[in-house]
Amino acid sequence: MNSLLHIVGARPQFIKLAMIFRALCHRPGLTQLVLHTGQHYDTNLSQDFFNDLELPKPAINLGVGSVGTSIQCARMLEGICHYVQRERPRLTVLYGDTNSTLAGALAATQAGIPVAHVEAGMRCGNLYMPEEINRVVTDHLSEILFCASETARANLVNEGLGSREVHVVGDIMLDCFNYERARRPLSLDTLARYGLDPKGYILVTIHRAENTDDKESLESILSGLALVAATQQVLLPLHPRTKARIMEEPQLGRHLSNLKVIDPVGYHDMLTLESYARVIATDSGGVQKEAFYCGVPCVLLRGTTEWRELVDLGAAILGNCKNPRILAEQIVDAAHQRWERSTPYGTGNAANAIAEVLVRRVPS
């Protein structure tokens, strides 16, 4: 069978998958299979995205759930291994830098199925970050590497991967962003639902292990946000992982009293909230780029970023996550950040470029 297997498991991967799945769905003779590892399982991080992005039900959901990284990867490896042995897809497509990406790369390679990696070559330079490990290992196991920028390609060349099939296609998240904004206009009703005024609030997301698993760092960020919230509205769609940490450490919860804390929102609502924010403070890879695409200043709740161009352009600054007072000042002052218009990640044609390469590899 001429099948191509997409392996996904986390919210940003469902968004990226949607664009590529759509770009491939009318190709004659090509069967697309979707394997969901179950890394994200909350309805508002998983099923809602499948419904909203009009994705088909996955062929299989491994249901690995929320366990430690190694056990989670082991469960994924076992499940993916059985599935690829049975289905023998011609190619596996992996997205980004999650544990599902890493497990997909290992399991497919061990089964002799070639791997294509979307968002290849991203590096923040910190190998202690689980996402960086996942990126490096996945790239080294991939035959086809789709890069969002020339910097990403250069990173691959530096690691000796220049002779692989490398394509600079731009950022797939920009395709998603453009598609979604064209599909449904932004509506101020979304803001009204949360009692917000356009450009009258700071939007925050926090979910990276480097923040959630480091109590000091999380405490410092939350107390910085509490300082900001003394003078401005701060909206925090709270990721379940961060929520779980806060529940475990009740003293962290006191910093939330002046913040507007909501459940994670759907993709369209998120794009609306981003577009009308005064400033976005985030540790998310996707949200920092969306801030840039919306023209909204961004403070990164991290010491490094793999989307380095955003910092070089002045669209994003690295927040001081160790000092709440400085972080609060950075967030307030960021409203005045200005930068030159530029397109370091292309203009939103990544999905078609990727689809062309994939169909050549899996001919009908």
Please give the Cα distance from 305 to 317 (Å, whole number): 10
Amino acid identity, position 224 = G
b (16+ CB within 10 A) / e for 281-297: bbbbbbbbbbbbbbebb
Instruction: Give a three-class secondary structure readout of 213-278.
Output: CCHHHHHHHHHHHHHHHCCCEEEEECCHHHHHHHHHCHHHHHHHCCCEEECCCCHHHHHHHHHCCC
Q: Does 16 bind ligand UDP (CB under 6 A)?
A: no
Q: Which is nearer to ligand UDP, 4 or 15 (CB)?
A: 15
Interacting span for ligand UDP (CB under 6 A) from 11-19, 24-32, 247-255, 320-328: 11-19
Please give the Cα distance from 234 to 277 (Å, whole number): 10
Distances, alpha carbon 88 to alpha carbons 1, 91, 111, 140, in Å: 8, 9, 9, 22
Active site residue 207: yes
Distances, alpha carbon 247 to alpha carbons 87, 268, 272, in Å: 42, 28, 28
Could you say which of 6, 40, 117, 207 is catalytic? 207
Q: Which of 62, 124, 265, 354 is the binder for ligand UDP (CB under 6 A)? A: 265
Q: Does 302 bind ligand UDP (CB under 6 A)?
A: no
Q: Which of 4, 5, 8, 15 is the binder for ligand UDP (CB under 6 A)? A: 15
Instruction: Give the gyration radius of the chain's Cα atoms.
Output: 20
Q: Does 285 bind ligand UDP (CB under 6 A)?
A: yes
Q: Does 264 bind ligand UDP (CB under 6 A)?
A: yes
Instruction: Supply the DSSP symbol for 197.
Output: -
Q: Does 11 bind ligand UDP (CB under 6 A)?
A: yes
Structure tokens at 295: 């023209």
Interacting span for ligand UDP (CB under 6 A) from 65-73, 179-187, 188-196, 260-268: 260-268
Closest approach, Cβ 261 to ligand UDP, in A, equals 12
What mask of x and - would describe binding to ligand UDP in positions 191 to 210, judged by CB under 6 A?
Answer: --------------x-x---
Closest approach, Cβ 237 to ligand UDP, in A, equals 4
Q: Which is nearer to ligand UDP, 83 or 267 (CB)?
A: 267
How many residues of this chain bind ligand UDP (CB under 6 A)? 16
Residue 195: which of 238, 233, 227, 237 has the closest Cα? 233
What mask of x and - would describe binding to ligand UDP in positions 214 to 243, judged by CB under 6 A?
Answer: -----------------------x------
Q: Does 148 bind ligand UDP (CB under 6 A)?
A: no
Q: Which is nearer to ligand UDP, 114 or 266 (CB)?
A: 266
Closest approach, Cβ 12 to ligand UDP, in A, equals 4
Please give the Cα distance from 239 to 204 (Å, whole number): 11
Q: Residues 6 or more apart from 74 whose CB is under 8 A from it?
A: none
In total, the chain counts a number of residues equal to 364
Q: Which is nearer to ligand UDP, 38 or 96 (CB)?
A: 96
Please give the Cα distance from 276 to 182 (Å, whole number): 17
Q: Does 95 bind ligand UDP (CB under 6 A)?
A: no
Q: Which is nearer to ligand UDP, 19 or 113 (CB)?
A: 19
Residues found near ligand UDP in the complex (CB under 6 A): 11-12, 15, 96, 205, 207, 237, 264-265, 267, 270, 284-287, 290
